[in-house]
Amino acid sequence: MVEGSNSQGRDGTGGAHPPIILGIDTSCDDTGVGIARGEEVLANVVVPQTALHDRFGGVMPELASREHLEVIDEALESALRAAGLELSDVDAVAATHGPGLVGALLVGLSYGKSLAWGLGVPFLPVHHLQGHLAAATGVKPPFLALIASGGHTALFAVRSWSSVEELGRSRDDAAGEAFDKVARLLGLPYPGGPALSKLAEEGDDHGVKLPWPMAGSKGLEFSFSGLKTAVALLLERQPDVDRADVAATFERIVVGSLMEVTRRALEATGLRRLVIAGGVAANRRLRQEVAALGAELGVATTFPSPALATDNGAMIALAGRLALRGAANAASDDGAEPSEGHDQTAALATDASPYLPLA
């Protein structure tokens, strides 16, 4: 299966074409294999593990790793089929090296490294959040990015692809994690975000009293675990409380808090474009409030397509492309605009072992 080297690029004419990059993400509970040619996504296969983890109400790390191993070959084959390519067409392989569940990461990382080695093409270790940022195709820095997923909630000032500054993150639970945990308290299935959001449509968003996260803070951090605990206490004290009201109030506060901190970051940085990525970007209320905030502040807003906003392999391929392009710029002395690429020297020097969040 693994044959040939294609590091010069192929377009059948001997000329250069945008590099074809295979991207792999196995950071959590979805096996993602995507293929990008330049900024064009040719394939984006995601094999979800929802049913596997549903009965536990959350992701079981060891089960996730085993399942990645089980399906990754087939995911790669489907991606190649969808793109109409052979493995030998691939110019570079990118895989998430972290952050994420270590066992799960190891599967995609080892798989990607072996593939690259076998093909004789560069291997590009990608930071998972760089992948989420790169999913904003068609958007050129500078922009502010809010990443809100099950694993992360953070704001980044992306001034150029080589200057990405984290402005603030959640001190505790990620927004999606809070949705999932509160959904579980409400007896809803995993992943809880979509189910909770649906229930919220039937409720009064001021129906119950819940605390506002980080009230009075002027900073750029988030916090959602106090809110989650408040829901748990409320349900304990008032078992008959209207669950739709709880869902609606909780959703209003999470989205409101995300917007409050994002507004502060826009005002503090003066950035005129906002990109929202991560699974929570699918939330209807969030989308409405982002649009309203953008209109009020005169800031352009962008949501990557849902398929690129949630965890997937194509975004890792896109981030790999930026890394590769940055390397080309760094290596050339033709005055190529350095801000157009990642600091590739750094990206290529990245230790291609799994990133250990606690290390």
Q: Give the β-pairing of 153-160 and 163-169.
A: antiparallel
Q: Is the peptide bond before 48 cis (omega within 30 degrees of 0)?
A: no
Instruction: Give the residue with the Cβ less far from ligand KG4, 312 or 329.
Output: 312
Instruction: Give the residue with the Cβ less far from ligand KG4, 65 or 283.
Output: 283
Q: What region does 190 belong to: left with phi over 0, alpha with psi -120 to 50, or beta?
A: beta
Restricting to residues 258-297, which ones interact with ligand KG4 according to CB under 6 A? 278-280, 282-283
- Using CA atoms, how far apart are residues 201 and 181, in angstroms rounded to an integer? 19
Q: How far is the CB of 146 from ligand KG4 (least distance, A)?
A: 12
Q: Return the residue matching tokens 């493995």.
A: 87
Q: How far is the CB of 227 from ligand KG4 (least distance, A)?
A: 14
Instruction: Give the residue with the Cβ less far from Zn ion, 185 or 316.
Output: 316
* Residue 282 site contact among ligand KG4, Zn ion, none (CB < 5 to 8 Å, cut-off depends on kind): ligand KG4
Instruction: Give the residue with the Cβ less far from ligand KG4, 136 or 348.
Output: 136
- Using CA atoms, how far apart are residues 26 and 335, in angstroms rounded to an integer? 37
The contact mask relative to ligand KG4 for 82-101 (x = CB under 6 A, - = no) is --------------------
Quick check: 32 binds ligand KG4 (CB under 6 A)? no
Q: How far is the CB of 258 from ligand KG4 (least distance, A)?
A: 11
Quick check: 304 binds ligand KG4 (CB under 6 A)? no
Best CA proximity match to 210, nearest among 219, 200, 220, 202: 200
Question: Are 352 and 123 within 8 A, CB to CB?
Answer: yes
Q: How far is the CB of 175 from ligand KG4 (least distance, A)?
A: 7
Q: Give the β-pairing of 20-25 and 30-37.
A: antiparallel
Quick check: 329 binds ligand KG4 (CB under 6 A)? no
Q: Is the peptide bond before 99 cis (omega within 30 degrees of 0)?
A: yes
- Using CA atoms, how far apart are residues 208 and 231, in angstroms rounded to an integer? 10
Best CA proximity match to 234, nearest among 260, 210, 265, 254: 210
Instruction: Give the residue with the Cβ less far from ligand KG4, 158 or 188.
Output: 188
- Using CA atoms, how far apart are residues 327 and 311, in angstroms rounded to an integer? 25
Restricting to residues 253-312, which ones interact with Zn ion according to CB under 5 A? 311
Instruction: Give the residue with the Cβ less far from ligand KG4, 149 or 223.
Output: 149
Q: How far is the CB of 312 from Zn ion (least distance, A)?
A: 9
Six-digit token string for 273: 């474009």
* Residue 108 site contact among Zn ion, ligand KG4, none (CB < 5 to 8 Å, cut-off depends on kind): none
* Residue 220 site contact among Zn ion, ligand KG4, none (CB < 5 to 8 Å, cut-off depends on kind): none
Question: Are 197 and 246 within 8 A, CB to CB?
Answer: no
Quick check: 197 binds ligand KG4 (CB under 6 A)? yes
Q: How far is the CB of 155 from ligand KG4 (least distance, A)?
A: 16
Quick check: 173 binds Zn ion (CB under 5 A)? no
Alpha-helix residue ranges (DSSP H) falling in 164-242: 175-185, 192-200, 225-237
- Using CA atoms, how far apart are residues 329 and 198, in angstroms rounded to an integer? 47
Q: What residues line the site for ligand KG4 (CB under 6 A)?
A: 28, 149-151, 176-177, 179-180, 191-194, 197, 278-280, 282-283, 310-311
Q: Which residues bind Zn ion (CB under 5 A)?
A: 149, 311
